[in-house]
């Protein structure tokens, strides 16, 4: 016996529709959690990452013993959390003797693990240790610049993978329109060796230059760390093909109040709000406008006189 269950409140319905797969996707949420044991560096890295991604991240504070990303059975808990919180990126931190200060960055496709990359953290500097002029501190939720430097990102496959994952992680929402005053952060990633990447977070200073384009300056504000590549798992071919599939046509947005007619051409409807004639303002008898009216009066007189002259001629 099957039963049809539908949400009883509008809010529940909206939440479900938000989580449904869409044709054009917007920002991925990140799940930040840690394993059985974490060191001070790992916990501060996780905390600062959460702060950097405040709007689109969820941080779990309890330790999770049964999550082992690289083992076949150890991913079920992660997949469950991903489904629960609707997150498709995750950052898992742990600390063991074999792998000290370990960070696993992973992505999900349809709430199943898509790919993983494991990095070790070295030379971590927290954002509290940087001193800078607080005026330039980046605001929460702004779209960042992401910069990759180094030939390693092109030649070494693991670094290529890391580049993709970091882009996904830092990208935020995909927007059509950008406010140019809201550009205030940049992530700097440089491949200093075939196995190491230097990552830091900088604030942007826009300085006046001669042209429209201001001169950009970077001031190191945020956490900075060295990422040492440990293990990675690439997605399998079929899954990758499916995930990379994009639909070419955007969903046609219905243009409201516009009609096409063979006879009259393109017609638009304009809806006027109710004109409350009792409450309408008539003469604005303020002093400033009097001058305008005087001037316009003068102008009208001139044109009248010109007309009279013409007619007389």
Tokens representing 121 are: 């953290």
Q: Which stretch binds another protein (CB under 8 A): 55-63, 92-100, 104-112, 290-298?
A: 104-112
Q: Closest distance between another protein and the C-beta of residue 21, in Å? A: 4
Joined tokens for residue 24: 């054009």
Applying CB under 8 A, which of residues 69, 138, 150, 222 lies at the interface with another protein? 150
With vertex at residue 48, the alpha carbon angle to CA 194 and CA 148, rounded to the nearest 5 degrees, is 30
Look at residue 313 and give its three-state secondary structure.
coil
C-alpha of 293 from chain center: 51
Using CB under 8 A as the binding rule, the residues of this chain from 162 to 201 that contact another protein are: 163-164, 167-168, 171, 174-183, 186, 188, 190-193, 198, 200
Backbone dihedral angles phi then psi of residue 177, each to the nearest 5 degrees: -110, 140
Name residue 116's beta-bridge partners: 106, 233
Which of 129, 247, 286, 312 is close enough to bind another protein by CB under 8 A? 247
Tell me the CB-side half-sphere exposure of residue 110, using CA atoms within 13 A: 5
Where does this chain touch another protein (CB under 8 A) — which range of 23-31, 133-141, 278-286, 301-309?
A: 23-31
Question: Of the two residues 24 and 282, which places its CB atom closer to another protein in the complex?
Answer: 24
Compute the least distance from the CB of residue 299 to another protein, in Å.
30
- Rounded least distance, CB 301 to another protein, Å: 37
Q: Does 259 engage in binding with another protein (CB under 8 A)?
A: no
245 binds another protein, rule: CB under 8 A? yes
Closest Cα to residue 85, out of 58, 62, 63? Answer: 58
Q: What is the CA radius of gyration of the chain?
A: 29
The nearer residue to another protein, 32 or 87, going by C-beta atoms, is 87
């Amino acid at each position: 016996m099957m039963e049809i269950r539908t949400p009883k409140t509008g809010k529940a319905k909206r939440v479900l529709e938000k989580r449904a797969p869409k044709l054009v996707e917007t920002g991925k949420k990140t799940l930040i959690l840690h394993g059985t044991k974490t060191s001070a560096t790992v916990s501060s890295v996780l905390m600062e990452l959460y702060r950097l991604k405040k709007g689109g991240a969820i941080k779990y504070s309890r330790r999770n013993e049964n999550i082992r990303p690289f083992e076949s059975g150890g991913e079920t808990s992660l997949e469950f959390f991903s489904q629960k919180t609707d997150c498709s990126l995750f950052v898992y931190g742990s600390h063991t003797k074999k792998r000290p200060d370990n960070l696993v960055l992973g992505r999900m496709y349809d709430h199943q693990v898509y790919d993983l990359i494991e990095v070790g953290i070295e030379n971590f500097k927290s954002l509290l240790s940087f001193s800078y002029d607080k005026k330039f501190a980046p605001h929460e939720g702004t779209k960042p610049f992401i910069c990759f430097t180094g030939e390693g990102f092109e030649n070494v496959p693991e670094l290529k993978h890391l580049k993709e994952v970091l882009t996904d992680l830092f990208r935020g929402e995909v927007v059509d329109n950008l406010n140019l005053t809201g550009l205030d952060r940049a992530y700097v990633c440089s491949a200093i060796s075939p196995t190491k990447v230097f990552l830091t977070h900088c604030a942007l200073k826009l300085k006046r230059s001669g042209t429209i384009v201001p001169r950009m300056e970077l001031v190191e504000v945020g956490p900075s760390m060295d990422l040492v590549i440990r293990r990675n798992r690439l997605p399998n071919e079929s899954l990758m093909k499916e995930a990379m599939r994009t639909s070419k046509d955007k969903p046609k947005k219905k243009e409201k109040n516009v009609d096409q007619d063979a006879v009259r051409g393109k017609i638009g409807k304009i809806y006027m709000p109710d004109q409350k004639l009792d409450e309408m303002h008539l003469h604005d008898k303020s002093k400033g406008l009097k001058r305008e009216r005087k001037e316009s009066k003068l102008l009208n007189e001139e044109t009248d006189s010109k007309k009279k002259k013409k007619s007389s001629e």
